[in-house]
């Protein structure tokens, strides 16, 4: 097909978006060019700004354009309760439940020795230092209920066994084998409410 | 939710794409920022280039970054057969059947007096001038099989009743009430093969 080369490039670029096949990419490109050129320019600018300025929060590793993200800087959030998640998309899912008022730590992955992802890659030293700081009273392990997510949660719980921090795991309610980001807000809120301690109690 | 403002802007910009809801926009933004920043930059650049340089072919009104599009410039295409379409997305659908070797004229719409879209807005004068030029032997009216598409086809056929050009309408095969762009290639090829003349023959 003799398409305009620039149109072809735009279609390929749109296909790199998750969930966008050849047909949708085509429709998107034509929609932008035929009906929404201003929208196309706005999107281009938003992409450039986001890539250039969005880095990582120095406290929680969430996506942020400043040194500390909006959540870490928010004085109304309870810094004593830290929710540990695998990714920013999970963080957004939890935030959207509106039922959590603590802060976060984003691992950006899970332990996976076969892929060379160990404690260092997940920033665990930084998390443990934060716990040692004394401000944290509870660590909610909200990694995905997958084999790797569970292993990561248990590794963290094990490492902190000797501290005085309360360590909890979100309740089942999140479907086993599922991904947090696809869980509806109600289920997720329920899972948070039903979280249980992973730490051996003194009378065990 | 305390999202990074630039991330929020990127998510809104992505939502202007057709078929992209809030959840997909979020996943796209995070995918780009977490896993494909190069892809984000490529997309931004492709958008800027496309918006800046893609205009309209002076001959057929197809999207083109040059004065004449690749199809109008292609010496192997039969310029005697002109397919009249409502939009560039329809043109792409026909091209993808691989079964049409003529050229095009893109109306960019259909007659719709209520919206102020008349013959001028569809470039019909330009089409009629092209027909008068003598190079065209057949005009295939491939507007959508909707009320407006049919009305537009009949208007064009009526205007050219006194010329020697053969005027055909693509066959039913394209589902009535449907849109060309959603029809599979096989049906579309079939519709082309079964096209019929709309011109009254001398012995009518
Ligand atoms: Zn933060
Ligand atoms: Zn052209």
| Chains A & B: contacts with CB separation below 8 Å | 192
What ipTM goes with this model?
0.80
- A157 or B3, greater pLDDT: A157
Check the CA dihedral A8-A9-A15-A20 and report its sign: negative
Contact A54 B92 (CB under 8 A): no
Please compute the mean of the pLDDT values over residues B113-132 and round it to a whole number.
Answer: 95
Closest Cα in chain A to B43? A13
Nearest residue, CB atoms, B46 vs list A9, A41, A70: A9
What is the rounded distance in angstroms from the CA atom of residue A130 to the CA atom of residue A160?
Answer: 12
Closest CA to A93 of A57, A136, A143, A54: A143
Q: Which ligand is nearest to the CA of A91?
A: 1
Which residues 6+ apart lie within 8 Å of B149 measured at CB? B86, B110, B143
CB of B154 within 8 Å of a chain A CB? The answer is no
Do B150 and B121 meet the contact criterion of CB atoms below 8 Å apart? no
CB of A161 within 8 Å of a chain B CB? The answer is no
What is the rounded distance in angstroms from the CA atom of residue B168 to the CA atom of residue B78?
Answer: 16
Q: Which ligand is nearest to the CA of A104?
A: 1
What was the pLDDT predicted at A199? 65
Contact A69 B95 (CB under 8 A): no
Residue B195 tokens, joined: 């096209």
Burial code (b: 16+ CB inside 10 Å, e: under 16) for A125-156 equals eebeebbeeeebebbbbbbbbbebbbebbebb
- List, for residues B78-111, the tens digit of each pLDDT value: 999 999 999 998 998 888 888 899 999 999 999 9
Residues in chain B within 8 Å Cβ distance of A18: 24, 27-28, 31
Do A123 and A61 meet the contact criterion of CB atoms below 8 Å apart? yes
- List, for residues A110-122, the tens digit of each pLDDT value: 999 999 999 999 9
What was the pLDDT predicted at B204? 46
Residue with structure tokens 């997909």? Answer: B24
Model confidence at B185: pLDDT above 90: no
Compute mean pLDDT per 10 residues along chain A, 204 residues long, and list them. 86 96 94 94 97 96 95 95 93 86 95 94 96 93 87 94 89 68 73 70 53
CB of B16 within 8 Å of a chain A CB? The answer is yes
Residues in chain B within 8 Å Cβ distance of A3: 70, 92, 95
pLDDT band at B191 (very low <50, low <70, confident <90, very high): confident
What is the rounded distance in angstroms from the CA atom of residue B93 to the CA atom of residue B182?
Answer: 8
What was the pLDDT predicted at B174? 67
**Torsion angle, CA of B8/B14/B15/B20, rounded to 10 degrees?**
-130
- List, for residues B132-148, the tens digit of each pLDDT value: 998 999 999 999 878 89
- List, for residues B154-183, the tens digit of each pLDDT value: 999 999 999 989 999 887 666 666 677 777
Q: Are strands A55-56 and B196-197 parallel, antiparallel or unpaired?
A: unpaired
Distance of CA B45 to the CA centre of its chain: 24
Closest CA to A172 of A189, A149, A195: A195
Give me the residues paired with residue B138 across strands.
B81, B166
Residues in chain B within 8 Å Cβ distance of A19: 24, 27-28
Q: What percent of chain B has pLDDT over 70?
A: 90
CB of B184 within 8 Å of a chain A CB? The answer is no
Phi and psi (nearest 5°) for A171? -70, 155
What was the pLDDT predicted at A204? 46
Phi and psi (nearest 5°) for A197? -75, 140
Check the CA dihedral A110-A113-A119-A123 and report its sign: negative
What was the pLDDT predicted at A2? 67
Distance (angstroms) between ligand 1 centre and the Cα of B3 equals 10
What is the rounded distance in angstroms from the CA atom of residue A97 to the CA atom of residue A117?
Answer: 30
Which helix (H) or strand (E) segment holds residue B50: the answer is helix B37-53
Domains and CATH numbers, chain A: 56-170 (3.40.1360.10), 173-204 (no CATH)
Residues in chain A within 8 Å Cβ distance of B65: 4-7
Which residues 6+ apart lie within 8 Å of A109 measured at CB? A86, A87, A117, A121, A122
């Amino acid at each position: 097909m003799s398409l305009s080369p620039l149109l072809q490039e735009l279609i390929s670029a749109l296909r790199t978006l998750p969930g966008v096949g050849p047909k949708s990419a085509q429709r998107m490109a034509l929609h932008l060019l035929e009906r929404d050129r201003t929208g196309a320019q706005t999107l281009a600018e938003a992409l450039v700004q986001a890539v250039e300025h969005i880095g990582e929060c120095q406290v929680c590793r969430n996506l942020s354009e400043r040194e500390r993200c909006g959540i870490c800087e928010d004085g109304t959030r309870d810094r004593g309760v830290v929710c540990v998640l695998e990714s920013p998309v999970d963080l957004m899912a939890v935030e959207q439940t509106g039922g959590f008022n603590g802060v976060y730590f984003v691992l950006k992955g899970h332990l996976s020795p076969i892929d060379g992802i160990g404690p260092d890659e997940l920033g665990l030293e930084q998390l443990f230092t934060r716990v040692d700081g004394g401000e944290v009273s509870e660590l909610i392990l909200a990694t995905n209920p997958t084999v790797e997510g569970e292993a990561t949660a248990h590794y963290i719980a094990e490492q902190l066994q000797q501290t005085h921090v309360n360590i909890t795991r979100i309740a089942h309610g999140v479907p086993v084998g599922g991904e947090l980001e696809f869980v509806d807000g109600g289920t997720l809120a329920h899972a948070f409410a039903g979280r249980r301690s992973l730490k051996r109690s003194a009378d065990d």
